[in-house]
Chain A
Amino acid sequence: MRAVPWAVALAVVVVRVLTPPGLVAAQSQGTAQNVRARVGAHGGAATLRNVRAVLPATSAAGAGYLALGVGLIPIPADVAAAAGDTGIVISVSPAPRGPLVLTILPSEADLAAARGDPARLAIYDVATRRAYGCRPAGAQITCAAPGVGVYLLASVADAEFLPEVERSAPADRERGRIPLAAASGVAVALLGASLWFWQRRSVGE
């Protein structure tokens, strides 16, 4: 019994000092951190080489398209610096022949369109350090890409944007589910408590 108060006291200290607010918050923070971590950790040359190596063999049947989903791919540090602290840089290299079509999540495009600020989307040419405008249309953003080795600066996707997109999927903001969640908590609590009292009555000696 002497160890119990010791354990409880230690636990309280540990919880107070160490415990994060919650898994979702931790994951959101982690996503934002990943953005910065990837920028610092990788550089983008490998990605560019891979794309170049694949394109000639696989794009013969038709135009090349790049589906980014909700994702990011590694980028060079100088481009990251150009994006600033809150910007997210998406590389789209190389530009295929003709217009480059960048396909992103509908919710992202919707958000970009709602903000009505297409100028915040731009192609960034590493060689010339020049930005080119893009035209969001539905779920796609078409850019007049100047050639191989370009990068898209999607500063509309600020550091809080991607986690927000990912978090929009769970129903934790649906008010209708809150009572169900509370009921589940009550069910678990009642089961634990009732098991204790019931077994004492039924099989206790």
Chain B
Amino acid sequence: MERQLPGAVTSAPSRSRISFGLAAVALASLLALALYVLTMPPGLTWWYGGADSGDLASAAVTLGIPHPTGYPLFTLLGWLATRLPFGEPAGRLNVMDALIAASAAAVTGLVILHLNRTLSPQRITQVTASSGGARTRSQRAIDGTAPYAHQRAATLPPAPIAADLDAGNRDALDARNQAAPAIAAVSALTLATAGLYWSQAIITEVYALNALLCLLVGWLTLRLLEPPATDLPAEGDTRPDSAGAGAGGLGGRGAAPGGDEAFTTAGQPDGKRPPLRAGAAGRFPMSSADARPLSGDGAALLLGLAQGLALANHVTSIFALAGTLAAVLASGRRPSAAAWLRYGCGIAAGLSFYLLLPLRAAQSPAANWGDPRTPGRFLTHVTGGRYGGLFAWTDVGGNLREAVALVRLLFGDVALWALPAAIYGAAQGWKRARPAVAFFGTLMLLSLLFAAGYRVGDHAIYLLPAYLGYVVFAGLGLLCAVEECVRSVDRSRLAITAGALSVALLGGLATNRSFLEHDLHGDRTPAVFADHVLDELPPGATLLTVRDDSTFALRYAQIVRGIRPDVTIVNPNEAKDRVR
């Protein structure tokens, strides 16, 4: 049961509500997994950029080397997944990807729950400000209209204003906390049922894992920069500063709870932030059931490890690294050298998975693209040098047109309610959760630019990280909208209920559409193709292939299913850098 703090501007999620939030996110994730299982193909597919699936599956089964950049983390996880005793190997990998994608949707829900716990208040002095008198800078800082208010020193408002704060905002914050579990679950489902995301959740590809790791990096970054508070003020302590102290992650009185001494606030030579008052701190004391903040030492290392693992899966996860840096800058916090060192060590630990490539190449596995056992070939392979020329650096006009097309795809691919909510959420988040906006905004922007400039047929896949930011912004928008609705609308309960039903309806419609568009449960085209082609060839034939989809499907049939190993398959486009 939530403790009431008379006189303090606080409304914390109760233990039951936090548990409910986690359960709701888990339920949404399970539902997403069920949808994926219903629609996934039994094996390889050529749909939705699945041309590389045969190569990835062959490498996973043999613990070998797939095409650049090697994808060692996916290969290792895939190798474990293919040990499972059901279906064909590619089908097991599809299940693995579905589990990963459902988990990523759950992390999206966790990000929303975290944002709810750390969101700074909105126009908290709206009533008092309109009652007369010019608003001071501190008031503007409190009400969130000053730039990133909670990063600035703010003074305690006069007692009458504090009373108004309590009266005017407790209901709004209660409503937001009340709605947060449902919003987190709906956000998770919205990501899970977005077309492009769904398409990557049911095929053997690396992009679902990339999404999961980017989200983990974002979640850890936010938890490191803005940990939820854990210390409640003493019973009966109605001092506003006691409500805000410790809730800011850096600590209202020196070090933050959880030993977050690794970060200091920019502009504070002594490493201590000025005392953060209720409202100004922008966070509210949590119940003891709230998640514990990460410690400074462990958090930096864990964040680095997640980033390193992400890079060991796909190089475009470097956009998440840029997002982390942007979030740090936006937070106004200055990590210590030791924190950077721990962060770097974590990244190095994750990157060490790349050692799998030369180690396995030396053992000549059946799938051994590029044979990266020498330093030169290893570097060429992991940097994807052969693909570098595919990026159109100088075609500004073409890139712009592609960017517009990709934005159109994003808008049309996610449930319709997300668009206004994301716009509102991004605008509110810039004032109230700037590190989150910095992280996910950077991730979105860089993903969009890369996808627009990369001249390959399935370039839209690289937009997937932008979906993550889009849905997080949408969830953030719903949180803020609920709060604002209670504050400003007379019949707020009716309005919020109508909004919830609308969101549920639009989500259902989007799910129905995505289900039909991505139902591959009967797709066996690559297997049929490979069987048909290989069966008719004379003994010892050389088969020239001209595209990745046919090449990899045929090789998968040979390596994994053992069909016609006497046939030599040659793709002229890859022959020069592939050693078999």
Interface residues of A (CB under 8 A from B): 1, 3-4, 7-8, 10-11, 14-15, 18-24, 26, 30, 34, 47, 50-51, 53-55, 58-73, 103, 105-106, 139-140, 166, 169-172, 174, 177-178, 180-182, 184-193, 195-196, 199-200, 202-205
Contacts and interface: CB of A to CB of B under 8 A. Distances in A.
What are the nearest 4 A-B pairs in CB distance? A189-B508, A69-B550, A185-B512, A71-B547
Contact of B195 (A18, A23, A177, A178): A23
A169 B517 CA distance: 11
Contacts of B353: none
Given A26-B409, A53-B572, A171 B522 contact: yes
A196 B419 contact: no
Interface in B412-448: 412-413, 416, 419-421, 423-424, 427-428
Nearest to A68: B546
A32 B520 CA distance: 22
A33 B507 CA distance: 31
B90 interface: no
A192 B504 contact: yes
Contact of B178 (A8, A50, A200): A200
A3 B537 contact: no
A118 B35 CA distance: 43
Contact of A191 (B31, B477, B510, B521): B31
Interface string B514-525: 011111111101
Contacts of B518: 170
A120 B212 CA distance: 49
Interface of B: 2, 14, 16-17, 20, 24, 27-28, 31, 35, 38, 45-47, 174, 178-179, 181-182, 185-186, 189, 193, 195-196, 199, 404, 407-409, 411-413, 416, 419-421, 423-424, 427-428, 457, 477, 481, 484-485, 487-489, 497, 500-501, 503-505, 507-513, 515-523, 525, 528-529, 532-533, 536-547, 549-550, 553-554, 568, 570, 572-573, 575
Nearest to B18: A203
Contacts of B28: 191
A203 B22 CA distance: 14
Interface centre among B503, B533, B546 (most CB of A within 10 A): B546
Given A69-B545, A169-B523, A106 B517 contact: no
Contacts of B546: 47, 66-69, 71, 73
Contact of A170 (B47, B412, B549): B47
Contact of B515 (A15, A53, A181, A191): A181
A92 B409 CA distance: 35
B515 A68 contact: no
Interface SS of chain B? helix
22 contacts: A1-B485, A10-B420, A11-B420, A23-B196, A23-B199, A47-B573, A51-B572, A61-B542, A68-B547, A73-B546, A106-B529, A166-B46, A166-B47, A181-B512, A184-B38, A189-B504, A191-B504, A192-B186, A193-B504, A199-B178, A203-B17, A204-B178
Given A65-B544, A67-B533, A177-B516, A54 B182 contact: no
A70 B178 contact: no
A20 B519 contact: no
A184 B512 contact: yes
Given A15-B416, A20-B412, 15 more contacts: A1-B487, A1-B488, A4-B420, A7-B424, A8-B420, A58-B575, A69-B529, A71-B546, A170-B518, A170-B520, A177-B521, A186-B508, A187-B511, A191-B189, A205-B178
B423 A181 contact: no
A8 B499 CA distance: 12
Nearest to A180: B38
Contact of A172 (B186, B501, B519, B544): B519
B182 A21 contact: no
A21 B411 CA distance: 11
A191 B185 contact: yes
Contacts of B522: 169, 171, 174
Contacts of B420: 4, 7-8, 10-11
A68 B532 CA distance: 13
